[in-house]
A = this chain, B = another copy of it.
Amino acid sequence: MSRPKVVILGAGFGGLTAARALDGIAEVTLVDRHNFQTFLPLLYQVSTAGLAADHVAYPIRGALRKTKVKFRMGSPISVDHKNKSVKLDSSEVLGFDYLIVALGSATNDFGIRGVAENALGMKTVNEALNIRSEIMRRFEDLCRFEDDTKFSIAVVGGGPTGVEMAGAIAELKRGPLTSDNADAAKNIDVYLVEAGQRLLPALSPKLSERTKKDLEKLGVKVLTNAAVKEVKPRQIFFADGQKIPAEITVWAAGVKGEPTMKKLSIPEESGRIAVDSTLQVTNYPYIFAIGDIAGAKGADGRFLPMVAPVAMQQARFVAKQIQRLQDSAPLTAFKYVDKGSMATIGRHKAVVEVKGVRIGGVVAWYMWLWLHLFYLLGGRNKIGTMADWTWNYLTFDRGNRHIMDIS
C-alpha cells in the first residue's frame, strides 16, 4: 500500500511535531506563513530586551533536514473538499489524503472596544519587537523631558503570559533602565490587570497569592477583579467606572483560533475548529485539527488549554490515528495528560504546579529555565539563549534595548 499524502497547515509546536512523527509513514508537506518557527513561550523576553529576536526563531527547513518532509512557505486560501486539495496564496495546489490543521491562535480581544486599535498583541516576533520599541521610545521621551512626567505600561491578562510579561517589564525598569537613567526609570509605572479574582487561575490559590506578592515586590501594581471595558489611547477604562493611565497597553488577556481557519470551510465551535474525540474535524473524517485551533475537550467537557503540551501530544496522537486509518484499524479517543503548569515572575522567582505538587522560588525558577532551554529548537538557539541569560543574570543588564522599527 502506498504512503498517504498528508498536508499539515502550520509549523508551530503541533504542526512540526506531527510532521516529524509522520515522516516515513506518509508523504508530508508542511505549510507555514513564516519560514521559521517562533518559540512563543520566550517571546516576552524579546519584548523586554532580554533575548535577541533571532534566538526565539528557528528555520523550519533546518528542523526538517533529517526528514523527507517538504516545506512550503505560504497561507491556505481555500480547501477543495471534493478533490481533497488545499490552495495556498502562492497559487500552488497541494493534494492530500489527510489534512492536519495546526494553525495555532491569534490575539482575542473578546469584542472589547479599542483593543485592536490601542493595544499591542504579542503573538509574533514583530509584535514582540514592536512592544520593545514602544517601551524604549517612551523611555527616551522621559529621558528628554527631565521632569516628573509619568509613563505607565499596563499588561492585561493574569495568565502565565501576562504574569511573565509584567515581571520582565518591572525588572527591565529596575535594572537596565535605572542604570541608563535612574531619574527617568523611576517615573515608569507597571500595571498587571486581571478580570478574574486571582492571577494564574490554572494554579492553586496559594501560588496565585505568592505570584501577586512577588510581582508587587518587583513594583508591579496588580489589579484583580478589573474587567476592561475599553482601551483608549493612553488610558484603560474598567467596567466599574475606574480607569488607569496606560501609554502602552499589552494585550495578553487571551487567544482564539487563528482566523485563517475560516478559509477552510470546516465547522467551528466557539472560535475553534469543531472536532470529535478522535481529533477528526466533525463531519470531515479526513481532516484533523490539533493544538490551539482544535476545539478538543477534556473530561470536564471544557476546551483543553491552549498550551504547547496539548499541541504536541495531539500531534503524536494524530500521526498514530493516520496510521490506524491506513491499517483500517479503529480510531481511538484523545486523552490529554496534564504535565502541570508554570510561570516565571523574575530573577529567582517562579511558580510550578505538577499534579498537585506546588513549588515556588529559586527551585521553580531553575525548573522553568531548564525546561524552556530544553524545548527551544536548535543548538545555536540554546547556546545563544544560555549566553544571553547568563550575561543578563551576572550583569543585571539586558543588552537588546534597540528600537529597530525605524530605518
Instruction: List A residues at the B interface (Cβ < 8 Å).
Output: 33-36, 52-55, 57-59, 61-62, 65, 71-73, 90, 92, 124-127, 136-137, 140, 143-144, 176, 179-181, 378-381, 383-384, 387-388, 391, 395, 397, 399-404, 406-407
Contact = CB atoms under 8 A, between A and B. Distances in A.
A125 B404 contact: yes
Contacts of A404: 36, 53, 57, 125-126
Given A35-B402, A404-B57, A384 B381 contact: no
Nearest to A181: B61
Given A53-B404, A59-B402, A92 B144 contact: yes
A53 to B, nearest CB: 6
Given A52-B52, A384-B52, A36 B143 contact: no
A126 B407 CA distance: 6
Contacts of A58: 399
A77 to B, nearest CB: 15
Nearest to A132: B54
A115 B352 CA distance: 56
A173 to B, nearest CB: 14
Nearest to A126: B407
Contacts of A380: 387-388, 391, 395, 397, 399
A181 B126 CA distance: 27
A215 to B, nearest CB: 26
